[in-house]
Structure 1
Amino acid sequence: MAEHPASGSGRTLVFAGGLCGAAGVALSAAAAHLGGAFVATAASFLIMHAPVFLAVGLIGVNRVLRIGSLMLLVGLLLFSGDLLARDFLGSRLFPMSAPIGGTLLIAGWLVIAASALVHQRS
């Protein structure tokens, strides 16, 4: 059964989409003015994933799609967080955070693809 978009996870994903979009734009500006290849990469990842969170949060469709989106969100936080920590703090977020985040991003996209194969109950 599809969850109503105004539900908790729907609101959370829309909120995350808005924050990712805003952070992506702010970090793009920071990268342009301050430099930092990691900042630019993190900004690109944030901007490219923001619409996914907005769409899934608004349409809700099915639980598998929401799970894939949440996997994307966690992966994005780990991956981008590690890149930003490298440029702004001079150290990693924690060992293997970027590879774990990247793996979660890939897995999240695969779960989103698989959500298209889930039969919806009326």
Structure 2
Amino acid sequence: MKLMIQAGALLGALAVALGAFGAHALRASLEAAGRADTFETAVKYQFYHAIMLVVIGLLMQRAGDEAVRWLGWSGYAFMGGVLIFSGSLYTICFTGITKFGAVAPIGGLLLIVGWILLLLAAGKLA
């Protein structure tokens, strides 16, 4: 419960910081490399799922044991998905090594799994 809220808060703070950094300090280099959209996608997905981690943590505080278990799995899938999906996109933007693009679908799959697990958890909520 607490971990989900803390992870969401940390990922949210980092998303705001990275978004500002990309919009200001990195803007010219990202645009020159044709990576501004890639960077923006990474920040957006990170931020959306940071918010969901906070929501999951709050739901866990009021849910029964079975729902908490499903919500926890959903949160862990979101965390892993953000790290792999957004992380691979950031790596492409910062290094120019496009081979990291092959890793992004794994993160995307984890994000999808997280949403499906959240759907299943919703069925267990009172």
Q: TM-score range by the shorter chain?
A: 0.7 to 0.9
**What residue ranges of structure 1 are gaps of 5+ in the alignment?**
1-9
More helix by share: 2
1: distance between equivalents of 2:4 and 2:99? 23
Specify the alignment match of 2:77 in structure 1: 71
Scaled by the length of structure 1, what TM-score is found? 0.80
Shift of 1:92: 5.1
- Summarize the Cα distance change of 1:66–1:93 in structure 2 as closer, same or farther, 3 Å threshold: farther
Specify the alignment match of 2:54 in structure 1: 54
**What residue ranges of structure 2 are gaps of 5+ in the alignment?**
28-35
Specify the alignment match of 2:12 in structure 1: 21
- Could you tell me whether the CA contact under 8 Å between 1:82 and 1:93 is conserved in 2? no
Specify the alignment match of 2:22 in structure 1: 31
- Summarize the Cα distance change of 1:79–1:93 in structure 2 as closer, same or farther, 3 Å threshold: farther
1: distance between equivalents of 2:9 and 2:23? 21
Secondary structure, counterpart of 1:118 in structure 2? coil
> Which of 1, 12, 22 matches 2:3?
12
2: distance between equivalents of 1:25 and 1:71? 21
- Summarize the Cα distance change of 1:93–1:75 in structure 2 as closer, same or farther, 3 Å threshold: farther
CA RMSD in angstroms comes to 1.9
Number of positions where the alignment pairs a residue of Structure 1 with one of Structure 2:
111
